[in-house]
Amino acid sequence: MPTQRFGRRCFAGFIALALTYIIVGGIINQATRTMTAAEMIENEEWIDSGKLWIDRQMCRWIGICGLFHYLNKSGWTWQHIEKNIPSQHPDYNDFWTSGEDPDSWSDEERELREIPQYVFDYAPYVHLFSGENYWPCDIAEHLVHTTPYVNYTLIEEMEDDRNLTNLHELNGIDGGHSGKYVYLQSKDNVEELPRWLGGEKNIPNAPEFPTDGHFGKPWPHLGDLKDVDLENAQQQVLKAHDEAESINEANKASLRKLRPTQNGQCGGNSGLTCEGSAFGQCCSIYGYCGQDDGYCGEACDPLAGKCPNPLKPTPGPHRELRKRDRDPNGERHRPEKSGRSSAPAILVVVPKEDGIVDAFWFFFYSYNLGNTVLNVRFGNHVGDWEHTAVRFVHGKPEHVYLSEHNFGAAYDYQAVEKYLPAQDGSGTMLGTWSNATAARRAKRPVVYSATGSHAMYATPGLHPYVLPWGLLHDQSDRGPLWDPAQNVHAFVYDHTTQVLRASTHSPKAPVDWFHYAGHWGDKYYPLSDPRQYRFAGEYHYVNGPTGPKFKNLGRDDVCQGRGPCKIRHWLGGGRGADHFPEEEEIEEGGLPGGNMTDMI
């Protein structure tokens, strides 16, 4: 009992210390932060929008704004009179084929639009988080569920007339300051989790579970999996979006009809799981069960076995199952393609001087779920752009850059993990970290998308950033594997003239959407909105981000920021970014008296 009391006191002391740190830090931030005259005016207007006098005064005095909104979460959703009437949205299926006629191209023009094959040969794989509930989305679909605003004023003339061909016309709207104050605001209350926001239909294809013991079956859409009520499971995931651990369990529940393995194999399209087997409870991505770090560590597949929760590590030794060699050169049972998402990736190839070619792989999500600090969530926003850049020099990959919030990390190409599909038809991957043959042959880098924020990392696990003691962190794992090269709209960009061309790979793709200079989501909600609060300078809802054109595509170094670019040559040590490059000047999104867009 005394030990338990002491433990509770230590924990309470830690919480009190952390809260003091955040509140004092917020007061200092409010007192010392330099704001422009325009920001000060906007900040006062934002505070004045609060409905309660005490709320407005607490906001001014100690930086706690919207406390009653936070305490009354039932007020974040509301009933609609026409709730049962289906919404009518424009058909967006033709948006991606509305570009110019490629038959009009001259030979010289066609040559400018060619993308070297090596760009696709070295395209990244992306592991999405196994418990994710906001999946990749199509910007065309995003447009029909949003409405353009100048700050908080509806742009009526383009309310229902937006597509990928005329989106850039919003830059010329009066009062929009060339797009700076233009926002694509959700037509739905995002706290009510409209189906389009989660992008669940875009989950990368999962392997089919064979019943005859043979491999080599194609990877169907998730809805085709028999005896698995995935739609219901996904809806349960969305309803529990505030509880990351509950989400993880709900998502995995739909996969527990896998059969326990009888021979130690698991994952891929085998239909087998390590849970309940005699070979160990962890399934490695290489297709075998075990219990040591080779199976339960960074190579653990959460979809076909148990993976340790990094927040609750399990101590003690584990027995090991001897690894079995595979021959990736085998011709028999060549696997079908897998990992395709119905949400297209955006590839922007930027040729530069001295034989440099930067390939930017952009990934769009309709919603960014911010992270929590002491169970308080900050940094939600509609619209989310992330990217991985591969830099080539004379056709050879040199560096890989991963976007992470308002900063990022750059790696030597040789340092990052790479995948080679196993040639036995099992649907598993051979990784360069554990297989010598794969290390010699694999080309395509593997990156990891963090849950909710979708920040990109080079390793799975926990990734602390900004705050001490790991109070603020991202989490990634080896969830569904996304192969963006299987569904991509590809473009060539001349950064000196700012001319974007549809490539020969996507000849009819429109290009005008690229020049839209506004935000791809809502403007941060006013204090009068019951969903909004701001503690210690950090907002619950922040501005949506700007698009790919404004990610410093003409950068000299591979890093996005304009400060020093540190290239990492190994993946050991700390997982989070260890420096904060200077913010690029073009990106908008700073909030008066608070956090930056996509900071959390």
Return mean pLDDT, the chain: 79
Portion of the chain with pLDDT greater than 70, in percent: 72
Q: Bin 213: left if φ > 0, else alpha if -120 < ψ < 50, else beta.
A: left
Please report the pLDDT score of residue 312 as a whole number.
53
- Specify the higher pLDDT residue, 532 or 17: 532
Q: DSSP letter string over 205-225?
A: PPPP--SSS--------GGG-
Compute the 3-state secondary structure of the chain and give helix, strand, coil in percent, each to the nearest 5. Answer: 25, 20, 55
Report in angstroms the alpha-carbon separations of 287 from 240, 385, 421, 570.
30, 32, 12, 26
Look at residues 176, 177, 147, 141 and name the one whose alpha carbon lies nearest to residue 159.
Answer: 147
> Has residue 581 got a pLDDT over 80?
no
Residue whose pair of structure tokens reads 């990156």 in the numeric block: 447
Gap between the Cα atoms of 458 and 460, Å rounded: 7
Residues 6+ apart with CB under 8 A from 485: 120, 123, 345
Look at residues 339, 330, 326, 279 and name the one whose alpha carbon lies nearest to residue 304.
Answer: 279
Gap between the Cα atoms of 585 and 318, Å rounded: 51
**What global pTM score does this model have?**
0.78
Q: Please tell me whether residues 299 and 356 are part of one structural domain.
A: no
Please report the pLDDT score of residue 19 as a whole number.
57
In a domain, 250, yes or no: yes
Gap between the Cα atoms of 410 and 401, Å rounded: 4
With the C-alpha atoms ordered 544, 550, 552, 558, is the resulting torsion angle positive or negative? Answer: positive
Of 69-83, 275-289, 435-449, 577-591, minimum mean pLDDT range: 577-591
H-helix segments, 341-422:
none
Please report the pLDDT score of residue 157 as a whole number.
87
pLDDT (tens digit per residue) in 3-18: 666 666 666 665 555 5
Portion of the chain with pLDDT greater than 90, in percent: 48
- Specify the higher pLDDT residue, 482 or 302: 482
Q: Please tell me whether residues 302 and 388 are part of one structural domain.
A: no
Residue whose pair of structure tokens reads 């089919």 in the numeric block: 208
From 310, 335, 360, the end of a domain falls on 335
Q: Please tell me whether residues 562 and 545 are part of one structural domain.
A: yes
In a domain, 111, yes or no: yes
From 335, 360, 383, the end of a domain falls on 335
The listed range with the strongest mean pLDDT (145-149, 211-215, 569-573, 596-600) is: 145-149
Mean pLDDT for 438-457 is 90
Mean pLDDT for 501-519 is 97
40-49, Cβ contacts within 8 angstroms, sequence gap of 24 or more? 40/592, 42/592, 43/592, 43/593, 46/526, 46/527, 46/592, 46/593, 47/527, 49/526, 49/527, 49/528
Q: Please tell me whether residues 380 and 523 are part of one structural domain.
A: yes
Total domains in the chain come to 3
pLDDT bucket at 435, cuts 50 / 70 / 90: low
Mean pLDDT for 283-306 is 82
Note down the domain range covering 43: 2-75
In a domain, 178, yes or no: no
Gap between the Cα atoms of 422 and 430, Å rounded: 6
pLDDT bucket at 246, cuts 50 / 70 / 90: very low
Q: Please tell me whether residues 304 and 386 are part of one structural domain.
A: no
Which amino acid appears at position 101 of this protein?
Answer: D
Q: Please tell me whether residues 401 and 507 are part of one structural domain.
A: yes
Phi/psi for 458 (5° steps) reads: -90, -10
Three-class DSSP labels, 68-94: HHHHCHHHHCCCCCCCCCCCCCCCCCC
Look at residues 581, 158, 201, 160 and name the one whose alpha carbon lies nearest to residue 403.
Answer: 581
Tokens of 456: 């990109």
Residue whose pair of structure tokens reads 């609609």 in the numeric block: 80
In a domain, 173, yes or no: no
Mean pLDDT for 165-177 is 94
Q: Please tell me whether residues 433 and 317 are part of one structural domain.
A: no
> Has residue 445 got a pLDDT over 60?
yes
Q: Please tell me whether residues 16 and 47 are part of one structural domain.
A: yes
Q: Do residues 135 and 200 make contact, with C-beta atoms less than 8 angstroms apart?
A: yes
> Has residue 494 got a pLDDT over 60?
yes
Q: Please tell me whether residues 436 and 521 are part of one structural domain.
A: yes
**HSE-CB for 67 with a 13 A CA cutoff:** 13
Of 91-95, 109-113, 486-490, 518-522, minimum mean pLDDT range: 91-95
Mean pLDDT for 519-528 is 96
- Specify the higher pLDDT residue, 301 or 468: 301
pLDDT bucket at 217, cuts 50 / 70 / 90: very low
Which amino acid appears at position 271 of this protein?
Answer: G
State in Å, rounded, how far the first CA of the chain is from the last one: 39
> Has residue 438 got a pLDDT over 80?
no
> Has residue 533 got a pLDDT over 60?
yes
- Specify the higher pLDDT residue, 114 or 29: 114
> Has residue 23 got a pLDDT over 90?
no
Look at residues 43, 64, 46 and name the one whose alpha carbon lies nearest to residue 55.
Answer: 64
Q: Please tell me whether residues 320 and 436 are part of one structural domain.
A: no
In a domain, 304, yes or no: yes
In a domain, 83, yes or no: no
Mean pLDDT for 429-452 is 81
> Has residue 101 got a pLDDT over 70?
yes
